[in-house]
Amino acid sequence: MGQWRKFVRATGYKSEAETKGGAYIGDGSVWKKKADVYWHNPGYAQDDRSPVTCVSWNDSQAFIKWLSREESKTYRLPTEAEWENACRAGTKTPFSFGKCLSTDQANYNGNYPLDNCRKGQYREKPAAVGSFAANSWGLHHMHGNVWKWCQDWYGDYPAEAVTDPQGQSSGALRVYRGGGWNIDAGRCRAPGTTTCASALPGHSSFRFLVFIFLPFAPPFYSQSSLVYLRGE
């Protein structure tokens, strides 16, 4: 939130939720657009350590353009493939922490764990950045808390094996991953949880979003190159 607030103060930028009639509010299954809900008024208390929410894919691009200019570096959202690789952190289990996801490890609706996993806490709001331990690659909040935009257009991948797929060249929907604080554990898994949402003007997308910034220069997944994951 602190970086986003600095961006807004420096540029006067208005998010799509502010200019297009509000943001979408979700209860875990149904999303409804609500007027007067935007990043500064999401419906719960927040401070500079809170993840910025109520921002669209287009809003994220405006912020990234500003940040790249301010720091004289090139940042972008990760592709879905890059995001999943970072979320897995070298593991093959549903979560980077193992077969089950504890609510001591991530913020999601603990009433709905994976089968044969223990129920946990339901906090009913996003947690501050850095509230939970990082995965083995040093990355925080890859599971749950708020949804994470990816660079890709939503669409099918090729049937054959592809190295570092970049997604579709065009489309109407953008990919977001990772789940959120009011979502079941199944939708917070690292593999096989592709979700899409409209990012066109007039659609502020889902409320619980997070930015992930990566320099273009490889390696994509060194701890240093993913430092902005901690900023949400």
Residue 32 lies in a domain: no
Taking the chain (232 residues) in runs of 10, the rounded mean pLDDT of each run is 93 94 75 86 89 90 91 87 92 96 97 97 93 93 90 84 83 88 93 64 31 40 30 40
In a domain, 14, yes or no: yes
Give the pLDDT score at 8. 96
How far apart CA 226 and CA 232 sit, in angstroms, is: 11
Query: Is the whole model's pTM more than 0.85, yes or no?
Result: no
Residue 167: inside a domain, yes or no? yes
Pick from 128, 111, 8, 25: which is nearest to 67 by CA? 8
β-pairing, 209-210 vs 147-153, is parallel
How much is the pLDDT for 227?
Answer: 29
pLDDT of residue 28: 59
Domain-embedded: residue 61 = yes
CATH assignment of the domain containing 169:
3.90.1580.10
Could you give the number of structural domains in the chain? Answer: 1
| Domain contains 201 | yes
Residue 131 lies in a domain: yes
Q: What is the pLDDT of residue 87?
A: 93
Please give the pLDDT value at position 222: 27
Which of 7, 87, 32, 19 shows the shortest CA–CA distance to 207? Answer: 32
In angstroms, rounded to a whole number, what is the distance separating the alpha carbons of residues 139 and 96? 10
**CA dihedral of residues 205, 215, 191, 113 (deg, nearest 10):** -60
Could you give the CA distance from residue 28 to residue 130 in angstroms, rounded to a whole number?
23
Q: Is 12 exposed, middle or buried (0-12, 13-18, 19+ CB in 10 A)?
A: exposed
pLDDT at 192: 66
Classified as helix, coil or strand, 31 is strand
Q: What is the pLDDT of residue 134?
A: 94
pLDDT at 168: 84
Name every residue whose Cβ is closer than 8 Å to that of residue 154 and which is 6 or more positions away in sequence.
Answer: 167, 168, 171, 172, 173, 174, 175, 194, 196
Question: Is 99 contained in some domain?
Answer: yes
Q: Is the dihedral of CA 28, 148, 187, 171 positive or negative?
A: positive
User: What whole-number distance in Å separates Cα of residue 207 and Cα of residue 166?
Assistant: 25
Domain that holds residue 85: 1-27+37-232
130 falls within a domain: yes
Encoded tokens for 137 = 């690659």
Determine the pLDDT at residue 108: 96
